[in-house]
Amino acid sequence: MRLALNDSGPALAPISPRRELGAYEALWLEKGATFKTLADRFALDAEALPSDFVPAQLAEQCAAEVMAKLKKAGVHQFGVRIHHAGDYPAKLRDARHPVELLYYRGAWEITETRCVAVVGSREASPDGIRRAERLARELVDRDFTVVSGLAKGVDSAAHRGAIARGGRTISVVGTPLGSCYPKENADLQEVIARDHLLISQVPVLRYAKQAPQHNRLFFPERNVTMSALTEGTIIVEAGDTSGTLTQARAALHQGRKLFILDNCFQRTDITWPARFEAEGAVRVKTPDDIWSALG
């Protein structure tokens, strides 16, 4: 039993967003911290908050550093969602290593709408781009929110398709708020943050302190969150080593629907479509295969 629960104060283990934000960042600065090690730690105590593991002074210091860094990066308004606090989406707990805290800009409530992810290769073919845009339009027409990363290729096409159709889109990024990858999507990221919803689970201080090659590891992890936020994932196209396949595995693990466009099955240079179909993915020959499965 932690001290907070023994507190004679009015609230049971109350949450201060600033303290939790700082404590979460401090946990990420510990040597060897990963989504898995953090999730394992919180799994041992389902009621723990980040501040239960971090001295108050360190949490405060980290919070101040995050504020300063984000402000310097031009992020003047943002929010956080914290496990156990109001408005934290329960569906995130379906992830294998569920995140305890997320940063966001924009309208958080979009997460409460029906969401479907559209993902695929960064080096997408012209057909892949066209398919991603069309799917985004059709999702918007059916009042679904489009969810994607902010990578080149399929991801960007999905966001642009949704925005052009007047729909809602959520971008889950593999960089902290205030950073953008690739740089060429900075304008798109800003539009999404202002008019839609931009989500990052990437710790600001750890990202700033470690080498770029280590920061790459944040990208597949955002795919897991993207899947958890949605009813299903549609893979437009992807190679055998694509990060998109992380999302495919996550979707099946989380009990979400996984749709793979038929053109992926027709390629002879990849093997994953048949493998995932055997595990329950839906082979999409016409868009109706998606709509009927989503119900």
Partner 1 sequence: MVDVVRLSQIDETSRGDHYHLTAEDRCYYLYEYTSHRDYSFSATNQLISNLKKKPSQADQPHYWYKGQAIGTCGRALGAALNPAWLGIATLVPVPGSKATDHPDYDDRMERICRLMRQPAPDVRALVRQAASTTASHEAGQGDRVTVEDLLDLYAIDETIAAPAPQTIGIVDDVLTAGTHYRAMHTALAARFPNVPIIGLFVARRVFPDDPLAFGGL
Binding site for partner 1 (CB under 8 A): 7-19, 21, 46-47, 67, 70-71, 75-80, 82, 84-87, 90, 104-109, 112, 194
Work out whether strand 101-106 and strand 197-200 pair parallel, antiparallel, or are unpaired. antiparallel
Q: Could you give phi then psi for residue 106, rounded to 5 degrees?
A: 110, -155
DSSP class of residue 199 equals: E
Q: How far is the CB of 286 from partner 1 (least distance, A)?
A: 31
Q: How far is the CB of 163 from partner 1 (least distance, A)?
A: 17
Block residue for tokens 């998606």: 290
The distance of Cα 192 from the centroid of its chain, to the nearest Å, equals 14
**In this structure, is the dihedral angle defined by the CA atoms of residues 252, 254, 257 and 258, taken in order, positive or negative?**
negative
**In this structure, is the dihedral angle defined by the CA atoms of residues 104, 106, 112 and 114, taken in order, positive or negative?**
negative
Q: Could you give phi then psi for residue 77, rounded to 5 degrees?
A: -140, 135
Q: How far is the CB of 262 from partner 1 (least distance, A)?
A: 36
Q: Closest Cα to residue 260, out of 293, 235, 289, 226?
A: 235
Cα–Cα distance between 217 and 206 in angstroms, integer? 12
Q: How far is the CB of 202 from partner 1 (least distance, A)?
A: 16
Token pair for 91: 């569906």
**Nearer to partner 1 by C-beta: 67 or 252?**
67
**Nearer to partner 1 by C-beta: 15 or 234?**
15
Q: How far is the CB of 14 from partner 1 (least distance, A)?
A: 5
Q: How far is the CB of 156 from partner 1 (least distance, A)?
A: 24
